Amino acid sequence: MVFTNNDAVKLFSLAFGIGTKNKKGSWLEVYYPIPYFNPSSADVKKISEVLGYESGNCNIELSNDLISQLAPVVNDSRQQEILGMMRNSTKPKVACFIESDVDLSSTPEAYLKLHLLSHRYVKPNHINLTGIFSQLPNVAWTSEGAIDPREVTDQQLKARAEGRVLEVSSIDKFPKMSNYVIPSGVRISHTARVRLGAYLGEGTTVMHEGFVNFNAGAIGPNMIEGRLSQGVTMGEGSDLGGGASTMGTLSGGGDIILSIGKDCLIGANAGTGIPLGDRCIIEAGLYITASTIVQVMDENRSFVKVAKARELAGQNDMLFIRNSQTGVVECRSNQKAIQLNETLHDHN
């Protein structure tokens, strides 16, 4: 394609990746060291002319010769260094172009969007992931990389014959984030519990039993000792207690997109199925679903009304607590905002 000086070439994202294919030549996974997000028109034009890219969302496999041609036209020195390391590899290499944020159509494209989330270029629920499960193959994640589950036995036999053991850590569509992206200023006690596509903001801590799914996010700083389900986001300063959970759209939450506001506390073994505003608390062991019957109390703890929890969704300064005498779930006015320990969340 030939570009004129007046051409404005705009892309949603562009990245150079190196990955793995199975024996049939199908992509299993792709690693993008430093994706471009909303790259400049000048960069896109130069790269497109080398690779013959015209338009749309597409993948162009990179030969060593193409990589040699790319390096001089890429302005960023770090990208040049990455291309230099990729050039002599025998692994499959690809340039992924995403012109518009539409439904996913390939495995390289799906992996690029997951990278964009974990690199903090986009926040959960702000990127189109429709079709992701059909574009992500099930993969055996092993000590020697990604392997098609149907090809694991041969690889295990080969390893044993050479006196090694091929360790299979999981069989899943999603890899752990830390093998692809390590965001700055975070602490993750058990890396297998944070999937690629998770968004972890600066200062966030994920403890051993914490879990963060793809397209879920902690804006940071946050403490996560429970489960942050797909599509759920936590505002800064909030704490998800040990064994606590959030109801995502993949786990019975329907079409409701949950969010937890700033400075909230979900107590140990508690949970929520409704969005929460800022400075909300759910006491330990109490799970609030959309249909939970709640007695609403005013700031003097006087009865106001009976409501289903969904009617309170998104409000600020709520304290959900079970009355120890009557067993009734009450929503009181929260008189005390929580505050995370700044020392614990300074991970620089």
Task: Report DSSP letters for 274-295, one per residue.
Answer: S-B-SS-EE-TT-EE-TT-EEE
Q: What is the pLDDT of residue 339?
A: 62
Q: Which residues are marked as active site?
A: 225
Residues 115 and 196 sit within 8 Å (Cβ to Cβ): yes
Domains in the chain: boundaries:
13-122, 141-172, 177-345
For residues 131-139, average pLDDT: 98
Tokens linked to 226: 């429970």
* HEC letters along 220-256: CCCEECCEECCCCEECCCCEECCCCEECCCCCCCCCC
pLDDT at 299 over 90: no
* Residue 290 identity: A
Could you tell me the pTM of the whole model? 0.92
Q: Residue 55: how many CB atoms within 10 A of its CB?
A: 12
Residue with tokens 């329907």: 254
What token pair was written down for 60?
A: 């162009």
Q: What is the CATH code of the structural domain delimited by 13-122?
A: 3.30.70.2010
Report residue 111's pLDDT band, with 50, 70 and 90 as the boundaries. very high
Q: How confident is the model at residue 1 (pLDDT cuts 50, 70, 90)?
A: very low
Helix (H, G, I), strand (E, B) or coil at 188: strand
337, pLDDT greater than 60:
no
Rg for the chain, CA atoms, rounded: 24
Give the SS3 label for residue 100: coil
Residue 344 is predicted with a pLDDT of 52
Domain boundaries 177-345, CATH class? mainly beta
**Residue 205, both tokens:** 């801590």
Please report the pLDDT score of residue 254 as a whole number: 56
Q: What is the mean pLDDT of the chain?
A: 92
Determine the pLDDT at residue 335: 74
State how far the Cα of 63 lies from the Cα of 247, in Å rounded to an integer. Answer: 45
